[in-house]
Amino acid sequence: MTKQSFMKGTLILLAAGIINRILGFIPRITLPRVIGAEGIGLYQMGYPFLIVILTLITGGIPIAIAKLVAEAEAEGNEHRISRIFRISFLFTLSISFLFAIASFFAAKWISTHLLTDSRVYYTFLTMTPIILIVGIGSVYRGYFQGRQNMIPTALSQVVETLVRIFTVLAFAYTMLPYGIEFAAAGAMAGVLAGEIAALLVLYYQYRNNRRRSARSIPETGIGSSPLSSRWANLQLLLKLAVPITGSKLVGSCSYFFESIIIVRSLAIAGVATKIATAQYGALQGMVMPILMLPSALTYSLSVSLVPSLSEAAAQNDLKTIHSRLHQSLKLALVTGAPFAMIMFVLAEPLCLYLYGQSQVASMLKMMAPVALFIYFQAPLQATLQALEKPGSALINTLVGSIIKLTLIYVLASKPEFGILGALMAINVNIMLVTLLHWRSVVKLLNFRMEMTDFAKVGVAMAISGWASHVIMYTGWLDNELIRFIVSSIAGITLYLICSVFLKLINRNDLLRLLWLGRKFVK
């Protein structure tokens, strides 16, 4: 089994995440042109319910598996690792199958009564098999992450994205003549095809790794009976997974109710159902993907942090915990800042050239200032989960969700705010939950970050943002697309120069990036 260091594992996942984000934007850009904002709305409206179901099934399972496997590997106990995997697989397979069947038969009622547009039925029906596929895949990912081997997870993500690029567009285009609701269902069928491909990759990697490690399993951990051992492992798995699932479930349920409350609040404000569906589709299908583009890094950091911090905590190594956390948060801050700057300064041309709809820019510009809070949130939450404090993350997420849903209803139902009122509520939620997570981590670890880092990043963003704005809007060239490209490149380049000058990035960091680039090309 190939085991990577914390930074190497993070870089592997980051490379895969960047590929996924870049390639994933192909259907994101072209799908709205094929099925329109209304079709995107139907495609997106089924997602919140799917996320709730997947959270119930897999919310805490991968993290719990990763933590238990990391601890067992630190002990050198291969038998325990095998037992953990088997009991996790059987448990997840069972509940995934039950939820998939229940969702299939309840699809008509859910799309008619819970969701606001009955045309979502076909999309909802198509996505039910995803529940079973993702459930099984989460067990494999947790296993590999626990062994600090990030290559299978990264490879499966890339394959899933490549398959999804072709199948989403092909199926949506094929079904378009039958109606917009069938085109949205076709797009969801493309997502299903990508998930199946990812699962096959994970299964193939698992079989290969098990063959290699089976010959060297030490004779340890055989003293207890298999039945009692399975029950003990299941109890331990659920003890870790349930609080984490609870925390994620709050966020998923919040996302689900958010989709319902936004559309209903817009109806109260006098917005027609089709327009409300289109506005929600623009928010979730266009604005949020741009905003979440740099989260490839924060996801990579979060996945790598859990086994790394769990291993350090098992050895009472507080210095390593502080070092890993500081590395993660500084990386999230320094790398996320230029993207937030571009999204704010160049919102109009960005939305125009990506989606052909510059009117969406007002939403993106409104959310760009809170982008850094999003990128900070994932490593902080991963830290609380790795150090067995998921209850704190649960309470923080619950408080933020209650405030968000209340504000959405109050603000979005006012005609003078409309969809922008929902954006205000979402921004408040993002900032509040991140600050509460920060407070919990500081209290738990007595952790501190240099405030000068924040000030330096602010200076670098201001200088590079000013330069991008000047290049884009002074009209020195008639071709607006070229001005946009030059403005983006100049802004990011100037940000990097400022970061080196202000010592946010040092020479070793640049050399490491160049090394990664060479490895990536190979």
pLDDT higher for 93 or 6?
93
The answer for residues whose C-beta is within 8 angstroms of residue 218's C-beta and 6 or more apart is 76, 77, 78, 79
pLDDT band for position 3 (cuts 50, 70, 90): low
* Mean predicted confidence (pLDDT) in 119-134: 88
Give pLDDT, residue 257.
Answer: 82
Give pLDDT, residue 7.
Answer: 54
Give pLDDT, residue 516.
Answer: 46
> Looking at the whole model, is its pTM more than 0.85?
no
Which tens digits make up the pLDDT trace of 206-234?
888 776 665 555 444 444 445 556 677 77
pLDDT band for position 269 (cuts 50, 70, 90): confident
Give pLDDT, residue 222.
Answer: 42
Which tens digits make up the pLDDT trace of 475-522?
778 888 899 999 999 999 999 888 888 887 766 655 555 554 455 445
Average of per-residue pLDDT values in the chain: 80
pLDDT band for position 466 (cuts 50, 70, 90): very high
Give pLDDT, residue 6.
Answer: 54
Largest Cα–Cα separation, the chain:
78
Cα–Cα distance between 260 and 255 in angstroms, integer? 9
Burial 352-390 (b: 16+ CB within 10 A, else e): bebbeeeebbbbbbbbbebbbbbbbbbbbbbbbbbbebb
Range from 201-210, 240-249, 258-267 carrying the lowest mean pLDDT: 240-249
Give pLDDT, residue 197.
Answer: 93
Give pLDDT, residue 294.
Answer: 74
Which tens digits make up the pLDDT trace of 49-58?
787 788 878 7
pLDDT higher for 17 or 321?
321
Instruction: Give me the helix-helix angle, 318-345 and 419-445, nearest 10°.
Output: 160
* Mean predicted confidence (pLDDT) in 303-307: 63
To which H or E segment does residue 109 belong?
Answer: helix 78-109
pLDDT over 90 (residue 241): no
pLDDT band for position 16 (cuts 50, 70, 90): low
Give pLDDT, residue 25.
Answer: 66
The answer for residues whose C-beta is within 8 angstroms of residue 5's C-beta and 6 or more apart is 148
Give pLDDT, residue 205.
Answer: 86
In the chain, where are the structural domains located?
6-449
Range from 105-114, 137-146, 384-393 carrying the lowest mean pLDDT: 384-393
Three-class secondary structure of residue 439 per DSSP: helix
Cα–Cα distance between 193 and 199 in angstroms, integer? 10
pLDDT higher for 128 or 448?
128
CB atoms within 10 A of CB 137: 25
Give pLDDT, residue 302.
Answer: 62
SS (H, E, C) 301-332: HHHHHHHHHHHHHHCCCHHHHHHHHHHHHHHH
Which tens digits make up the pLDDT trace of 23-53?
766 777 778 777 877 787 777 777 777 877 8
- DSSP character at residue 198: H
Cα–Cα distance between 251 and 393 in angstroms, integer? 10
The answer to whether 336 and 378 have CB atoms below 8 angstroms apart is: no
The answer to whether 59 and 252 have CB atoms below 8 angstroms apart is: yes
Cα–Cα distance between 60 and 318 in angstroms, integer? 24
Share of the chain above pLDDT 70, in %: 84
Which tens digits make up the pLDDT trace of 381-413?
878 877 777 778 888 888 998 999 999 999 988
Token pair belonging to 325: 């956390």
Burial of 224 (0-12, 13-18, 19+ CB in 10 A): exposed
